[in-house]
Chains A and B, each alone.
Chain A
């Protein structure tokens, strides 16, 4: 039973347009959410996070939106660039966890930004 779901295995977007990556979760104890980006032959790198006390967090071209009632979060990339082509993992953990040991990952979405 996947507690964090990324239902789109892949997404293609034209350069300069908006990329929207979606993530759904089922565990109501999840209170902190993260996005990781992964290039081929490299490890995942932390991109952006959001706590449940917020509904939006912005960092440059990247914005994460959280809808707690729908148990849904999304990552917006505006404008998309070819260098953004990577696999994006959504992850979630309970607030009571003071470390990353309770992180639950989604299966990832391959984003391809076309020049």
Chain B
């Protein structure tokens, strides 16, 4: 199994409070991702990182920010949590394909269940 640790695993927070989720990897992979999983929507990309301090937006980035100060850590911050951000959040990592190995899959962490009340 890929070495990916998400913390916390569960969190309940109040509307309007800031929340930070952490993803830590031991694989030294270049790419890291934050997804959210919601019923009927599958997995949707929030933000991703392609290197230290290099990040970009995904499909559902509004209300979220990220930071990556070290290769192994990728933080997801909800500046002011809303009920619509109640979801299960997954971190994933991947390496970049080179040459003929252009198609690499992502490896996922165990998820963080966030409830905003």
Are A99 and B110 closer than 8 Å at their CB atoms? no
Q: Which stretch in A11-19, A37-45, A78-86 binds the other chain?
A: A37-45
Are A41 and B110 closer than 8 Å at their CB atoms? yes
Are A105 and B104 closer than 8 Å at their CB atoms? no
Q: Mark A44-73, 1 if CB is under 8 A from B, else 0.
A: 111001010000000000000000000000
Are A44 and B50 closer than 8 Å at their CB atoms? no
**What residue of chain A has the Cβ atom nearest to residue B99's Cβ?**
A98
Contacts between the two chains (Cβ within 8 Å), count: 71
Q: Mark B61-75, 1 if CB is under 8 A from A, else 0.
A: 000000000000000
Are B98 and A98 closer than 8 Å at their CB atoms? yes
Q: Which of A74-98 contact B (CB under 8 A)?
A: 89, 91, 93, 95, 97-98
Q: Contacting B90 at CB < 8 Å: which of A44, A101, A107?
A: A44
**A34 close to chain B: CB less than 8 A:** yes
- Chain A interface: which size bin? 20 to 34
Are A105 and B42 closer than 8 Å at their CB atoms? yes
Are A101 and B45 closer than 8 Å at their CB atoms? yes
Task: Please measure, in the bound complex, the distance between the C-alpha atom of A42 and the C-alpha atom of B88, giving whole angstroms.
Answer: 11
Residues of the B chain whose Cβ atoms lie less than 8 Å from the Cβ of A106 = 42
Contacts A43-B90, A105-B44, A107-B40 known; A98 to B102 CB distance under 8 Å?
Answer: yes
Query: What residues of chain B have their CB less than 8 Å away from a CB belonging to chain A?
Result: 4, 30-31, 33, 40-45, 48, 50, 56, 90, 92, 94-98, 102-111
11 residue pairs A–B, Cβ–Cβ below 8 Å: A4-B42, A42-B110, A44-B90, A45-B108, A97-B102, A98-B97, A99-B95, A99-B96, A100-B106, A101-B50, A107-B41
Query: What residues of chain A have their CB less than 8 Å away from a CB belonging to chain B?
Result: 4, 6, 9, 32, 34, 36, 41-46, 49, 51, 89, 91, 93, 95, 97-101, 103, 105-108
